[in-house]
């Protein structure tokens, strides 16, 4: 147990160099100065009392008074400097650790590991900025807290050495009792952290509800009067999460009666033993002051300062980060080289083919996939070939796996069985970042980035620059009029929070998202994926969609997913999914003539459109 605790504390101290040599060196110097000041104060106050006890004031009395005052001022000055330097060291260490966790998360090849409860809980503990009962799970605070504790120990040992010049038994007794009290208090209070860590998921839910109430669902809260509902949910979650913690705190307080008695007895001994020596005549009054202050300095180590909680809370975060690295670092590798299969040619799946490179042949071979935690497969034996330069539409009822198909194509998940090949090479063996640089994907739930219009378009292909290319993409997406109406043009900040930003309508955001993927195609992407690309467009814009967008891309394979069958009608092939596999495959006219499920879907939608027109 002692070996493990020592190793953990050394692990924290090894984090300090991440903050930089100058900052850490300054912090160490300040902590050392503050550790030596209490013993120096005890000696200086004793010397002042001795000088004043001679009955007359002279230069020595003034010098002694100045020394005492100077030490007290120095203590305050060092404390002020510590409050400046310590946060700097903390933020640098925390930033470094957060960057490591962020890099680890970004480099995970798929979403299955990222969405797992094990990863989520550990990541939450590793980067938790502090929320709840007297907790601050900061690695930086833990490292600087451990450094502070080291120098608190140094200060207590210095006071012990000073007190030992009067009485070795008293000095050792006070030190041992103080350390024992600290150990017991630490064990009792630190059990509260285990209670908090037992429900990391509940803490995330509590944060999510509070975030939604203030920002995410602000309009619904007002329109539907949901403030009481959110408040009730938040109270219920907070009670479930923190009630066990408060019960544990009360239990700890009830168990501490004997430590209070032991502390009182130690303080009495620190006062009484030197006082008895004065009464016997073996100790003068000046020495009494010095040794009493030294005794109190020894006992100060028994107090559980803020650093104790910083250490324990932060240590759990560091351990969580270590566990993440140990479990996921082997799989979180950017640029994974192919493990098997033929050598990938330039412009194929292993490298981001430039403009003009041929689109790949993509095959789904008996692919079976179920989301983690679900026993029912979304795709169940899917076999499908996407040929180079072809426009393929995927349709079907809700929940048949259309969007899942896109996620597997992007390597965000791996099939449970079967395989996906790109030009004959298993997708699971390829350099996934390079493969993704060949894709231009418009997801159904595309992101509204709180950035300029220019950035919202260019994020899909940062390597391509130039406002002309941005305007061209917006024009092809039908966004020219929108661009003209925005106050700042391409520099307009698209942000719905605050008065300085400009929010867009659903249809306008759809055009921005379309421009984003068209911009990526202009940068050389060879596979264009459009998942519900007309969901927010009006009837006229939807009717122009194929002519304006799909038909104008060249040397690109296009995968089009939509519930609106009028959008997919011009596609080279239409694939209907049912029960996780291909049920129908052919052209629009061929499927209509076959009179199957696609024909029935199209007839229903066409009738609804005609009825609406009347």
Supply the DSSP symbol for 550.
G
Contact 567, 533 (CB under 8 A): yes
Determine the 3-state secondary structure of 15 from DSSP.
coil
Q: How far is CA 329 from CA 36, 119, 125, in A?
A: 43, 12, 18
Instruction: Please give the pLDDT value at position 345.
Output: 38
Structural domain contains residue 443: no
Instruction: Please give the pLDDT value at position 343.
Output: 36
Q: For residues 359 and 425, what is the distance between their CA atoms, to the nearest angstrom?
A: 14
Instruction: Please give the pLDDT value at position 129.
Output: 61
**Phi and psi at residue 574, in whole multiples of 5°?**
-125, 125
Q: Is 514 exposed, middle or buried (CB count within 10 Å of its CB: 0-12, 13-18, 19+)?
A: buried
Q: For residues 570 and 550, what is the distance between their CA atoms, to the nearest angstrom?
A: 9
Q: Look at residues 507, 525, 543 and tell me which one is the last residue of a structural domain.
A: 525
Instruction: Single out the residue of 127, 139, 138, 123 nearest to residue 328, CA to CA.
Output: 123
- What tokens were used for 156? 């207590």
Contact 384, 425 (CB under 8 A): no
H or E element at residue 401: none
Tell me the per-residue pLDDT of 154-173, one tens digit each, with 9 for 90 and over: 999 999 999 899 889 999 99
Structural domain contains residue 130: yes
Instruction: Please give the pLDDT value at position 430.
Output: 87
154 and 267 part of one domain: yes
Instruction: Please give the pLDDT value at position 564.
Output: 76
Instruction: Please give the pLDDT value at position 499.
Output: 60
**Which residue range forms the structural domain that includes residue 547?**
359-438+527-596
Q: For residues 288 and 217, what is the distance between their CA atoms, to the nearest angstrom?
A: 67
**Phi and psi at residue 577, in whole multiples of 5°?**
-100, 140
pLDDT, average across residues 484-510: 81
257 and 204 part of one domain: yes
Instruction: Please give the pLDDT value at position 151.
Output: 92
Q: For residues 570 and 553, what is the distance between their CA atoms, to the nearest angstrom?
A: 14
Q: For residues 201 and 125, what is the distance between their CA atoms, to the nearest angstrom?
A: 10
Bridge partners for 561 per DSSP = 394, 531
How many CB atoms are closer than 10 A to CB 497? 10
Instruction: Please give the pLDDT value at position 94.
Output: 87
| pLDDT range class, residue 367, cuts 50, 70, 90 | very high
Q: For residues 567 and 391, what is the distance between their CA atoms, to the nearest angstrom?
A: 12
550 and 577 part of one domain: yes
Of 27-36, 46-55, 350-359, 594-603, minimum mean pLDDT range? 350-359
Q: Examine the pLDDT at 125 and tell me if it is beyond 90.
A: no
| pLDDT range class, residue 346, cuts 50, 70, 90 | very low
| pLDDT range class, residue 324, cuts 50, 70, 90 | confident
Instruction: Please give the pLDDT value at position 432.
Output: 86
Structural domain contains residue 66: yes
H or E element at residue 529: strand 527-531
| pLDDT range class, residue 232, cuts 50, 70, 90 | confident
Most confident among 22-26, 61-65, 185-189, 448-452 (mean pLDDT): 22-26
Which residue did the predictor score with more confidence, 67 or 234?
67
Which residue did the predictor score with more confidence, 86 or 219?
86
Number of domains in the chain: 3
Rg value, the chain, Cα: 35
Q: Look at residues 477, 505, 525 and tell me which one is the last residue of a structural domain.
A: 525
Tell me the per-residue pLDDT of 268-317, one tens digit each, with 9 for 90 and over: 888 888 888 888 888 887 888 888 888 888 888 887 777 777 887 788 78
Which residue did the predictor score with more confidence, 462 or 354?
462
Determine the 3-state secondary structure of 395 from DSSP.
strand
Structural domain contains residue 316: yes
Taking the CA atoms of residue 7, residue 10, residue 12 and residue 16 in that order, the dihedral angle to the nearest 10 degrees is: -160
514 and 542 part of one domain: no
Tokens 């009179």 locate to 595
426 and 454 part of one domain: no
Structural domain contains residue 113: yes
Contact 42, 297 (CB under 8 A): yes
432 and 458 part of one domain: no
509 and 428 part of one domain: no
Contact 111, 413 (CB under 8 A): yes
Taking the CA atoms of residue 141, residue 147, residue 152 and residue 157 in that order, the dihedral angle to the nearest 10 degrees is: 160
- CATH number (domain holding residue 176): 1.20.1560.10
pLDDT, average across residues 449-477: 87
Of 14-23, 107-116, 137-146, 570-579, minimum mean pLDDT range? 107-116
Q: Examine the pLDDT at 185 and tell me if it is beyond 60.
A: yes
Determine the 3-state secondary structure of 217 from DSSP.
coil
- CATH number (domain holding residue 505): 3.40.50.300
- What tokens were used for 437? 């640089």
The overall pTM is greater than 0.85: no
287 and 324 part of one domain: yes
Which residue did the predictor score with more confidence, 205 or 359?
359
277 and 383 part of one domain: no
Instruction: Single out the residue of 393, 504, 398, 417 nearest to residue 457, CA to CA.
Output: 504
- What tokens were used for 31? 């902590």
Structural domain contains residue 460: yes
- What tokens were used for 536? 């927010």
Instruction: Please give the pLDDT value at position 347.
Output: 43
303 and 424 part of one domain: no
Tell me the per-residue pLDDT of 553-603, one tens digit each, with 9 for 90 and over: 778 899 988 877 777 888 889 999 988 889 999 999 999 999 988 888 888
Q: How far is CA 15 from CA 132, 182, 312, in A?
A: 25, 25, 15
Instruction: Please give the pLDDT value at position 24.
Output: 93
Q: Look at residues 498, 525, 552 and tell me which one is the last residue of a structural domain.
A: 525
Instruction: Please give the pLDDT value at position 102.
Output: 85
| pLDDT range class, residue 349, cuts 50, 70, 90 | very low
Of 197-206, 255-264, 285-294, 504-513, minimum mean pLDDT range? 197-206
Structural domain contains residue 602: no
Angle at CA of residue 289, ends 284 and 292, nearest 5°: 115
Determine the 3-state secondary structure of 338 from DSSP.
coil
Q: For residues 602 and 610, what is the distance between their CA atoms, to the nearest angstrom?
A: 12
Instruction: Single out the residue of 151, 187, 168, 161 nearest to residue 298, CA to CA.
Output: 161
255 and 287 part of one domain: yes
Q: Is 490 exposed, middle or buried (CB count within 10 Å of its CB: 0-12, 13-18, 19+)?
A: middle
Contact 442, 448 (CB under 8 A): no
Q: Examine the pLDDT at 139 and tell me if it is beyond 50.
A: yes
Instruction: Single out the residue of 49, 48, 51 nearest to residue 67, CA to CA.
Output: 48
Averaged pLDDT score across all residues of the chain: 81
452 and 426 part of one domain: no
Structural domain contains residue 74: yes
How many CB atoms are closer than 10 A to CB 533? 26
Q: Is 344 exposed, middle or buried (CB count within 10 Å of its CB: 0-12, 13-18, 19+)?
A: buried
pLDDT > 90 in the chain, percent:
20
pLDDT > 70 in the chain, percent:
85
Q: For the range 272-279, what are the long-range contacts, defined as Cβ-Cβ under 8 Å and sequence gap of 24 or more?
A: 273/167, 273/170, 274/166, 277/166
């Amino acid at each position: 147990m002692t070996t493990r605790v020592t190793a953990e504390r050394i692990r924290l101290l090894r984090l300090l160099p991440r903050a930089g040599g100058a900052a850490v060196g300054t912090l160490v110097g300040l902590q050392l100065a503050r550790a030596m000041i209490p013993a120096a104060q005890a000696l200086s106050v004793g010397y002042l009392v001795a000088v004043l006890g001679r009955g007359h004031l002279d230069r020595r009395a003034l010098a002694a008074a100045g020394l005492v005052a100077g030490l007290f001022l120095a203590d305050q000055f060092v404390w002020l400097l510590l409050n400046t330097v310590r946060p700097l060291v903390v933020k640098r260490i925390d930033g470094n650790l957060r960057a490591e966790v962020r890099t680890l998360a970004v480099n995970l090849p798929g979403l299955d590991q990222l969405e797992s409860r094990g990863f989520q809980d550990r990541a939450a503990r590793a980067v938790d900025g502090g929320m709840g009962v007297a907790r601050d799970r900061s690695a930086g605070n833990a490292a600087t807290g451990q450094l502070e504790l080291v120098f608190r120990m140094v200060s207590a040992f210095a006071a012990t050495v000073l007190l030992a010049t009067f009485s070795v038994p008293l000095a050792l007794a006070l030190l041992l009792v103080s350390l024992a009290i600290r150990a017991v208090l630490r064990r009792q209070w630190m059990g509260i952290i285990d209670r908090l860590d037992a429900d990391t998921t509940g803490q995330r839910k509590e944060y999510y509800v509070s975030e939604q109430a203030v920002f995410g669902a602000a309009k619904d809260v007002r329109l539907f009067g949901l403030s009481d509902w959110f408040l009730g949910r938040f109270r219920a979650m907070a009670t479930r999460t923190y009630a066990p913690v408060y019960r544990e705190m009360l239990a700890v307080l009830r168990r501490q009666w004997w430590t209070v008695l032991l502390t009182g007895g130690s303080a009495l001994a620190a006062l009484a033993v030197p006082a008895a020596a004065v009464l016997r005549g073996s100790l003068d009054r000046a020495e009494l002051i010095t040794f009493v202050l030294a005794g109190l300095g020894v006992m100060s180590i028994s107090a559980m300062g803020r650093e104790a909680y910083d250490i324990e809370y932060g240590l759990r975060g560091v351990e969580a980060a270590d566990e993440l690295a140990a479990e996921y670092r082997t799989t979180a590798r950017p640029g994974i080289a192919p493990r098997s299969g033929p050598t990938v040619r330039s412009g194929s799946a292993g490298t981001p083919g430039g403009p003009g490179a041929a689109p790949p042949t993509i095959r789904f071979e008996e692919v079976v996939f179920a989301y983690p935690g679900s026993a029912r497969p979304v795709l169940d034996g899917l076999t499908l070939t996407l040929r180079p330069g072809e426009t393929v539409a995927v349709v079907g009822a809700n929940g048949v796996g259309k969007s899942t198909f896109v996620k597997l194509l992007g390597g965000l998940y791996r099939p449970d069985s079967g395989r996906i090949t790109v030009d004959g090479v298993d997708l699971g063996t390829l350099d996934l970042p390079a493969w993704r640089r060949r894709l231009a994907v418009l997801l159904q739930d595309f992101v509204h980035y709180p950035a300029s219009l220019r950035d919202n378009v260019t994020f899909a292909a940062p390597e391509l620059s130039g406002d002309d290319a941005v305007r061209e993409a917006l024009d092809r997406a039908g966004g020219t009029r929108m661009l003209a109406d925005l106050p700042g043009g391409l520099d307009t900040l698209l942000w719905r929070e605050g008065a300085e930003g400009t929010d867009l309508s659903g249809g306008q955001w759809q055009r921005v998202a379309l421009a984003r993927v068209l911009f990526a195609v202009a940068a050389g992407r060879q596979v264009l994926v459009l998942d519900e690309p007309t969901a927010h467009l009006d009837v006229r814009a939807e009717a122009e969609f194929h002519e304006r967008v799909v038909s104008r891309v060249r040397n690109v394979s296009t995968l089009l997913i939509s519930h609106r069958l009028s959008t997919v009608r011009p596609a080279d092939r239409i694939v209907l999914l049912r029960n996780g596999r291909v049920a129908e495959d052919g052209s629009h006219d061929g499927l209509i003539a076959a009179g199957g499920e696609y024909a029935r879907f199209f007839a229903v939608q066409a009738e609804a459109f005609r009825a609406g027109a009347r």
